[in-house]
A and B are shown apart, each in its own frame.
Chain A
Amino acid sequence: MSVRLDAEKLVGKSGLINLLVSSIKPALSTIIGIVGGMVAGSIVLWLTGFDPVYVYYTIFAEAWGTSFGVGKMSITMMPLLIIGVGLLFCFKAGTWNIGAQGQMIIGALFANIAGYAFGPLPAPILIPIVLLASIVGGVIWILPAAVMKAKWGINEVVTTMLFNFLGIYLLMYLVKSPLRYPKEYHPITQPIYPSAELPMLPGTPIHTGLIIGLALSIFTYVFFTKTTLGFQFRIIGSNLKAARYAGLRIPWLIFYSLVISGALCGLAGGVQLAGTMRFLDPDWVPWYGFQAVPLVFLARLNALALIPFSFFFASLLIGGDLMHRIVGLPVFFVDVIFGLMLILFAASESIRYVRLRKRKEV
Chain B
Amino acid sequence: MFITFIFASMLRVATPILLAALGECYVQNAGILNLGIEGIMLFSAFTGFLAAVATNSSLIGLLAGLGTGLLLGFLLAVLYVTLKSDQIVVGIAFSLSAIGFTSLYFRLLYGTTLPKLPVKEWVINIPELAAIPIIGRMFFNQPFLVYVSIALVPFFYYVLYKTRFGLKIRTLGENPMVADTAGVNVFLYRYIVMLIGGLLAGLGGAYLSLYQVSLFQDNLIQGRGYVAIAIVMFARWNPLKILGGALLYGVAEAFAGAIQALGYLRTVPAEIILMLPYIITILGLVVLARRARFPPAFARPYRREMR
Q: How far is the CB of B169 from chain A (nearest CB, A)?
A: 20
Write out the residue numbers on chain B whose beta carbons fall within 8 Å of the beta carbon of A96: 88
A-B contact count (CB 8 A): 152
Q: Which B-chain residue is minimally distant from A98 (CB atoms)? A: B92
Write out the residue numbers on chain A whose beta carbons fall within 8 Å of the beta carbon of B83: 347, 350-351
Interface residue? A361 (CB, 8 A): yes
List CB contacts (< 8 Å) of B260-295 with chain A: 269, 271-272, 274-275, 278-279, 281-282, 285-286, 289-291, 294
- The 0/1 profile, CB within 8 Å of B marked 1, for residues 132-163 of chain A is 00000000000010001001111101110111
Bound Cα distance A172, B273 (Å): 12
A343 touches B97 (CB 8 A): yes
Interface residue? B107 (CB, 8 A): yes
Q: Which A-chain residue is minimally distant from B232 (CB atoms)? A: A158
B94 touches A162 (CB 8 A): no
Q: How far is the CB of B50 from chain A (nearest CB, A)?
A: 14
Partner of B90, one of A151, A334, A338, A343: A343
- The 0/1 profile, CB within 8 Å of B marked 1, for residues 161-196 of chain A is 111111001101100110000000000000000000
B85 touches A339 (CB 8 A): no
Interface of B is mostly: helix
Interface residue? A246 (CB, 8 A): no
Q: Which A-chain residue is minimally distant from B233 (CB atoms)? A: A155
Write out the residue numbers on chain B whose beta carbons fall within 8 Å of the beta carbon of A159: 230, 282, 285
- The 0/1 profile, CB within 8 Å of A marked 1, for residues 239-252 of chain B is 00000000000000
Bound Cα distance A237, B281 (Å): 28
Bound Cα distance A280, B31 (Å): 43
List CB contacts (< 8 Å) of B38-97 with chain A: 79, 83-86, 88-90, 92-97
Interface size class of B (residues with CB under 8 A): 35 or more
Partner of A332, one of B103, B272, B290: B103
List CB contacts (< 8 Å) of B78-123 with chain A: 79, 83-86, 88-90, 92-101, 103-105, 107-108
Write out the residue numbers on chain A whose beta carbons fall within 8 Å of the beta carbon of B269: 173, 176-177
Write out the residue numbers on chain B whose beta carbons fall within 8 Å of the beta carbon of A294: 93, 96
List CB contacts (< 8 Å) of B190-230 with chain A: 222-223, 226-227, 229-230
- The 0/1 profile, CB within 8 Å of A marked 1, for residues 18-31 of chain B is 00000000000000
Q: Which A-chain residue is minimally distant from B36 (CB atoms)? A: A343
Interface residue? A281 (CB, 8 A): no
Bound Cα distance A333, B99 (Å): 10
A169 touches B84 (CB 8 A): no
A158 touches B285 (CB 8 A): yes
Partner of B271, one of A161, A169, A332, A346: A169
Bound Cα distance A154, B305 (Å): 30
Question: Could you tell me how many residues of chain A have their Cβ less than 8 Å away from some Cβ of chain B?
Answer: 54
B108 touches A162 (CB 8 A): no
Bound Cα distance A340, B94 (Å): 8
Q: How far is the CB of B303 from chain A (nearest CB, A)?
A: 7
B85 touches A161 (CB 8 A): no
Interface residue? A330 (CB, 8 A): yes
Write out the residue numbers on chain B whose beta carbons fall within 8 Å of the beta carbon of A176: 269, 271
Write out the residue numbers on chain A whose beta carbons fall within 8 Å of the beta carbon of B101: 332, 336
Q: How far is the CB of B107 from chain A (nearest CB, A)?
A: 5
Interface residue? A48 (CB, 8 A): yes
B223 touches A162 (CB 8 A): yes
A158 touches B226 (CB 8 A): yes
B89 touches A169 (CB 8 A): no
Interface residue? B35 (CB, 8 A): yes
Interface residue? A325 (CB, 8 A): no
Q: Which A-chain residue is minimally distant from B75 (CB atoms)? A: A343
Show 18 A/B contacts (Cβ-Cβ < 8 Å), sorted by A.
Answer: A154-B290, A155-B233, A159-B285, A166-B279, A170-B275, A173-B271, A176-B269, A177-B269, A297-B89, A329-B108, A332-B100, A335-B104, A338-B96, A339-B93, A346-B79, A347-B85, A350-B84, A350-B85
Apart from A154-B290, A334-B100, A346-B86, list 19 A-B contacts with CB within 8 A.
A144-B282, A148-B285, A151-B290, A153-B294, A159-B230, A161-B223, A162-B281, A163-B282, A169-B274, A176-B269, A177-B269, A297-B89, A333-B100, A336-B100, A339-B95, A339-B98, A339-B100, A342-B92, A342-B96
Which residues of B come within 8 Å of A, CB atoms? 33, 35, 79, 83-86, 88-90, 92-101, 103-105, 107-108, 222-223, 226-227, 229-230, 233, 269, 271-272, 274-275, 278-279, 281-282, 285-286, 289-291, 294, 301, 303, 305
